[in-house]
Structure 1
């Protein structure tokens, strides 16, 4: 697995691993890198089957396969312990890692994620896959900003969104890989394991996320023994991109606090 290391090279610097959502690309975290790299050793990667790690995924494919890749990155980078930050699907990877015995994950941040798939999220994925199957890749990618960003932000940033769509079409992960990754997230359910996850967890959400209801984050916060809920009123599913400053501050403070334990 290819990955990038950014930030502190100090041996004793806490390590943060960033994991994107369904798109899979590490560049999703660009708005967080400057802030996190001031104090932490940051590892960022493209999920298997996407970007620099493009390949055909096995069938069946699971969230545990994705968690195995994170552990391989930790080993390859000489990382003994790490703080894991996952967006949506990436959050499921974090839950899978944190419930493993002898896990190296010492804290977790779940961004607009869930323990079990909500009916609203399932409906959105049904619609997106229908676009892919019946209209094509371009239609699928063009629809993606509708689920990620608030309408006003997309309007103000129209040129940026259009470039993102163009890049998304050119670098599309492939229909079979996308279906395998959606199938993995549909099958994942960590509900029964939450009470046994003893590490500190920051659960971050936006109230106007149309893909994942913020109530999923409220459920996580109530069920995780050391869950801490942080909610922003606006920003959409990708509020880490549209409203990065408050999140970056909250995340850096959380990791710094967890590192002192």
Structure 2
């Protein structure tokens, strides 16, 4: 399904009924990364997965966008679906968008799940790395980006033993529009530090991290869990940065238990 916001067409899936869970994907993937969650959790909840601008079936204009604008897209999707409040599930870049959303639209959050992400702005080294990856994408295309990103996205266990997952991640990045890759990299490099904001988050929050995630390591997850009032931390063994695909059953159980434990919220 599709909807339009600010002249851009965005794609999404909407399955099931109940508490709405909105899934925000990682860079440079698309909403298909959430297939195991949608299949399992839509039997109990309403699962909504969006292709962020520049990815999947959404438009991929080449321009300078901010993660705040990505968050505006998510708010517009909730408006389109007449959903006053939702649980946001953001992984990696999706977590950055979730934090941006929580700053602008905190009243629309029933709960927040931050997976394999961080609150800090990029370091100088991190920004340089994004610059070099952008040059790789521009000069050599998405295929070269895939080869660079595989070891950053998947943990050692998955790289060694889950060939189908490796092939899925590689092919998904191959298909990513170069314009979307470039826009994402600039938006992530320019995102503000959110550490001080963490203390202002009031909704129930679950922080999830793959034990083999060295892209956003455990220390980053522990920091978020410590700074967000009442937040819980869950570590998934034998999983790297894309923990929801590397250990989907564990990830699903964590989400299911967390959402089932939420207090009833009128109008949510």
Q: TM-score, normalised by structure 1?
A: 0.88
Q: Could you tell me how far apart the structure 1 residues matched to 2:131 and 2:213 are?
A: 17
Q: Which residue of 1 aligns with 2:200?
A: 196
Contact 2:15–2:48 (CA under 8 A) maintained in structure 1: yes
- 1:33 and 2:38 matched: yes
What is the alpha-carbon distance in structure 2 between the residues aligned to residue 228 and residue 79 of structure 1? 25
Gaps of 5+ in 2: 1-9
1:186 paired to 2:186: no
Instruction: Name the CA shift for 1:255/1:134 in 2 (closer, same or farther; >3 Å).
Output: same
User: Once the 2 structures are TM-superposed, how far is the Cα of residue 151 of structure 1 from its aligned partner?
Assistant: 3.1
Report what 1:168 is aligned to. 173
Distance 1:107 1:51 in 2: 26
On the 8 A contact 2:131/2:185 being kept in 1, the answer is no
Q: CA RMSD in A?
A: 2.2
Alignment of 1:81 onto 2:85: yes
Deviation, 1:118, is: 5.5
**Structure 2 CA distance, aligned partners of 1:212 and 1:140?**
19
Provide Cα deviations, 1:51-91, integer angstroms capped at 9, x if missing partner: 111220432x1111000000111011111110000001111
SS at the partner of 1:84? strand
Deviates more, 1:215-224 or 1:114-123: 114-123
- Tell me, what secondary structure is at the counterpart of 1:99? helix
Count of matched residue positions in the alignment of Structure 1 and Structure 2:
254
Q: Please tell me whether residue 3 in structure 1 is matched to residue 3 in structure 2.
A: no
Aligned partners of 1:51, 1:77: CA distance in 2, in Å? Answer: 20
In structure 2, distance between residues paired with 1:104 and 1:133: 37
Q: CA 1:36–1:123 in structure 2 vs 1: closer, same or farther (change >3 Å)?
A: farther
Aligned to 2:52, the other structure's residue is in SS state: coil
Match of 1:256 in 2: 260
Per-residue CA deviations over 1:2-43 (Å, capped at 9, x if unaligned) read 2111112xxxx2111000011241111112112211211111
CA positional deviation for 1:156: 2.7
From 150, 157, 160, the equivalent of 2:155 is: 150
Whether the 8 Å contact between 2:134 and 2:185 is mirrored in structure 1 is: no
In structure 2, what is the Cα distance between the partners aligned to 1:190 and 1:102?
Answer: 14
**Residue 44 (structure 1) aligns with:** 49
- 1:77-156 to 2 correspondences below 5 Å: 77-100=81-104, 103-117=107-121, 119=123, 125=130, 128-129=133-134, 131-133=136-138, 135-156=140-161
Alignment deviations for residues 93-137 of structure 1 (CA, whole Å, 9 cap, x no partner): 111122225631110000011111465755754564454355443
* Distance in 2, Cα, partners of 1:101 & 1:139: 36
| TM-score normalised by structure 2 residue count | 0.86
- Whether contact under 8 Å (1:208, 1:236) holds in the other structure is yes
Structure 1: state its 5+ residue gaps.
none
Alpha-carbon displacement from aligned partner over 1:187-222 (angstroms, at most 9, x marks no partner) = 222112111111111000022112111111111011
Answer yes or no: is the 8 Å Cα contact 1:118–1:212 preserved in 2. no
